[in-house]
Structures are given as C-alpha cells and as structure tokens.
Structure 1
Amino acid sequence: MSEQTRYLDLPDGRLAYDDEGAGPLVVCLPSMLDLRSQFRFLRPLLLKAGYRVVTVDQRGMGDSDAAWPEYGSTPLGRDLVALLRHLDAGPALVYGCSNGAAAGVWAAAEAPELIGGLVLSAPFVRDGEAGFAQRLTMALFRVPGLARPLYLGYYPKWEPKPPADFAEHKALLAASLKRPGRSKVIAEYMSMSHAEAEARLDRVTAPALVIMGTADVDWPDPAAEAAWVAGRLDAEVVLLEGAGHHPHVEFPERIAEAVERFQRSLGQA
C-alpha cells in the first residue's frame, strides 16, 4: 500500500483515509476536530515496525466531506465498521484518541469480529461532569463566528509539550476549518454525547489498552479516569507523565512501544 489519500463512499458522505504498509492492520482515529496528520509522528514508527497503518479524517475534517447529517462518536463508530469491512483485512487493532476511543468501543461492541484489540488514547468513552466554566466554554463554542477562533485558541492546551512543527500543524487545521461547509462542524462536535459508548462498555470482548497523559486538561483527574475506563474493560493502563490530550504527538516513541507491546500480547505480531 502506498501513501495517498483514499476515499470510502458511504450513504451520507465520503470518508478520507490513507493506507500504507503491510502486516498487522492498525487503524488510527484522531481526536475530534483534528486531522489524520495528528499521527504524523506515530505512523512512520509503526510502518517501520512492520504494520499496515490506516489513518482517518473524521466526518467534516480534512479531506472527508463536510455535509453529513450528524457528527459524533457514534456516527464515527459506524464509519469505522464500514471502513474495516471495506478493508477486509481481518481483525484490526484500533487506536482511537478522545472521541475516536468512543468510536472504537462502539464498533467493538457492535462488530466484535472486526476488532482484535483497542488502544484507547485520552479516551472519552463517557460524558464527563463539567463545571460551570467548562459548560460556558462549550456553549460559546456553539456560537457562530466564535467557534473557530475559540477552538484554535484552546487547541494548545491539548499539547502542553508541543512538537517542533506545532505552528505548522495548527495552520493546516485552521485552513481545514475555513473550507466550505465547515462552519457548523465545531458546534456539532461540541454537542455530541458518548453515552452510547458507555452503554456498550460491558459488551466489549476485545483486549484493550488505555493510554492517558497526566496533563490532560479534559479531565479533572486523568489518572482516575484512566483507571475507571480500564476497570470497565479489564485493561492495562499506560500513564504518561506530562502528556496532554494527544500523547502520540508529544511522545510518539513511547506510544509506538506501547502499541507494539500490546499487539505482541495479542499474538498478532
């Protein structure tokens, strides 16, 4: 497989992804409102280690279409199932970040034959209890004209140890959000719920690994949230000191090692 943008036509729109390498399949879902290039550091490490790596642009982001009837972790879960069936490569390891983790949980419960393992990175697999300041921020994200600048202003909080190309990636993200039809995407994602993923946790039979950064601003106690998710899934936890909401951007080597170790434990590599 070569590196180039590929597309999967679904009933409600077209999903963009890339597909490269040979070997055990790893499908990577970035966090909400980000690009598949979020995996620009992890992807080459996994390719070098002998994996087939597929990275996906969520609905409304990057090269995927913008005019979808709904957004969120459950629609992304349905997209993931459709993509895995399209790839037809046997059970895959799914690496999902944030709402991508919820999508992985949803897919693992609904189509267990497609998923051999889950790596849940900075996982949002339930709706957290937000304080007043967070509720106010989320409300402002849904105001037309404010959503994009507010989101881009908040974005650095997710990577407290930013990579050297942070400004370049953020500029690409800003350009993506200016593309036609993207004006409502931020508000749609900010309104999503992960309740359907939480309701399916007890149905997941695939082995799971939970990865969490101790500096993840989206949880008041990241370690406690990681422990809760791991307890529901009988999963191992990898805590990364100082990492934020995108640990594979800040610590790609550590994440690659964790993924390879987990994959070997499954007897698939």
Structure 2
Amino acid sequence: MPFITNTKAKEQVDIFYEDYGNGQPVILIHGWPLSRKSWEQQVWKIVEEGYRCISYDRRGFGTSSSPWDDYDYSALASDLNAIIEELELKDAIIVGFSMGGGEVVRYLTEYGPSRIAKAALISSIIPLVKKKSDNPDGVPEDALEGIIDALQKDRVGFLKEFSKGFYNFDENEGERISQAQLDYDFTIASFASPRATIQTALAWMHTDFRPELENVTVPTLIVHGDADATVPIETSAKQAHDGIKYSTLEVIKGAPHGLNVTHPDELNEILISFLKK
C-alpha cells in the first residue's frame, strides 16, 4: 500500500494515499470526520477527464497513522506538502472539502503557490466557523463546546447522528441519500482515531483564516450549497469569496453540506469545468 512519510513532522507520520490517472495532478483533501473514501463520486470523473487524481487520508483518519499530538492546521498542511514534494508535483490543483479547505489556505500561506496552479474550496469552513463580535453569524462558543463534550462522552453516538445533518437526511432520504450511505460514513468515522477526531475538531472550530485569505493568489473555485445547515453559506463561502481576490463562487441550489454525495453530477460539472479553464 502506498504511504508517504512526513519526516519533517514532530512525530513521524505516514500518510496513506491513492494515485490514479495521468495528466495535471488534482489533490483531494477530505472533510471531517471521514477519509479519502468520501471522494468516491469525484475520483472516477477526474480520472476519466484526463487528470491525475491523488486522494489521501488526513493524519488520524482512514489508513494514515495517528500521532498523539499535532493536529493544528500547520501540521496538517505539512502532510500535504510532504505529498507534493515526495511525488514531485508541479502545476497541481488542490481541492479541499469542508475542513480540508483549511489545508488549502494554510498550505498557500506557509509554502506559497509555486507548485500550485489552482485551488478549490468545496462546502468549506473557510474562513471562520466560530461566532465572534466581528463574525456574528458564526457558531456560538457553547454549541462548539457541546460538540467536543459529546465526542468525549459518546463519540460513536455523536457520529451516528452527525451525518444526518451533513446530508439534510430528513429531507433527502430515498431521493438524494440512502441509509446505507449514512451507515458507510459512520463506519469510516467511527474507526478514526478518537484523539484525532477531537483535536482536528478543535482546529476547524477555532482557527481564523481571515488574515490568510490574501495568501490565496491562484484562481480559486468556491462551491457551496444554499441549504448547507452544517456550514452555512453566509459565514463561509460568501466571506471566502469576498476575501479571495481571484475566486469564483458557484452555489448549488438545495444542496446540503455533503453535496459531493447528494449532488455529485452538479458538483462534478462545476469542478471539471474549472479544471479545464
């Protein structure tokens, strides 16, 4: 199985990745609390359209190793950098879903755009999740603390219910999402490192990327659903679009947070069009 070792990490980390196709490289960064497997409906399309598609498991998730510490965004971006350097990638397109948008922005902040041609933020948490005086529509602190408390007391119980909101399950059951998909997601999420699940949640909850948006200087696609109840569009995509100079915002009507699963055709059409521009 292919692993890339981040030897520059404080504690050695082995990152599992899959690498298919040829052509310009497209790197897919998954959301919380899943793995590279969440990109199932995008990988085949990207490869079919003539690109090289690389997806990987964030440290602590999927098949990658699980250090005890170092789950802040700088550590996570260093894993992305290790993949880019080890595979000697150039002219790459980095695509971050939900939490994965943070790796995109932090990578460009700390490593620059010399190896990156474009970026995409899909249902991304960028730029800030938490409610503050200057971010009044963010998630209140007590709600975020409630998530951490639930993860500490009954992690698998919380995860069992979490993906229902991810997909607006009550509205989309049978048409856009199946119970089997929820069960699949639960299996993936429940086998992630408990420590990593909590530590990465703290990272996406509390990291303020607003000062870093100016570092995103490559053409950037932002895709969000206007029915996203997990990461509302007003606090994320619209602010990101305002703060990223060379960005394009595409809104998928009626789409929830997990639009990569519920609206794959719509997302794929938008994403492939962006890759080809």
Size of the aligned set, in residue pairs, is: 255
Partner of 1:172 in structure 2?
Answer: 187
* 8 A Cα contact 1:158 1:245, kept in partner: yes
Q: Distance in 2 between matches of 1:108 and 1:71?
A: 18
* 8 A Cα contact 2:34 2:185, kept in partner: no
| 1:170–1:142 CA distance, 2 compared to 1 (3 A) | closer
* 8 A Cα contact 2:227 2:254, kept in partner: yes
* 8 A Cα contact 1:215 1:242, kept in partner: yes
* 8 A Cα contact 2:68 2:196, kept in partner: no
Give the TM-score taking structure 1 as reference length. 0.87
* 8 A Cα contact 2:150 2:158, kept in partner: yes
Cα shift at 1:89? 2.6
| 1:196–1:110 CA distance, 2 compared to 1 (3 A) | farther
Give the TM-score taking structure 2 as reference length. 0.84
Matches within 5 A, 1:60-209: 60-111=60-111, 112-128=113-129, 129=131, 130-131=139-140, 134-143=143-152, 145-160=153-168, 161=172, 162-164=176-178, 165-174=180-189, 176-177=191-192, 182-193=193-204, 195=207, 197-209=209-221
Partner of 2:134 in structure 1?
Answer: none
* 8 A Cα contact 1:31 1:96, kept in partner: yes
* 8 A Cα contact 2:6 2:15, kept in partner: yes
SS of residue paired to 1:71: coil
| 1:118–1:174 CA distance, 2 compared to 1 (3 A) | closer
Q: Distance in 1 between matches of 2:203 and 2:2?
A: 27
Which of residues 1, 7, 21 in structure 1 aligns to 2:3? 7
Deviations 1:38-95 (A, max 9, x none): 0111111111111110111111011001124211433221111111111113121111
* 8 A Cα contact 2:36 2:56, kept in partner: yes
* 8 A Cα contact 2:123 2:223, kept in partner: yes
Paired-residue identity, %: 19
Cα shift at 1:224? 5.5
Gaps of 5+ in 1: none
* 8 A Cα contact 1:59 1:68, kept in partner: no
Q: Distance in 1 between matches of 2:201 and 2:73?
A: 11
Deviations 1:7-63 (A, max 9, x none): 011132111110000111110001022011101111111111111101111110110
Gaps of 5+ in 2: 132-138
RMSD across aligned positions (CA): 2.0
Q: Distance in 1 between matches of 2:125 and 2:5?
A: 27
Which of residues 241, 244, 248 in structure 2 aligns to 1:233? 244
Cα shift at 1:136? 4.3
* 8 A Cα contact 1:212 1:223, kept in partner: no
Deviations 1:124-164 (A, max 9, x none): 12332122662342232342x41232123112211124534
What letter matches 1:209 in structure 2?
Answer: L
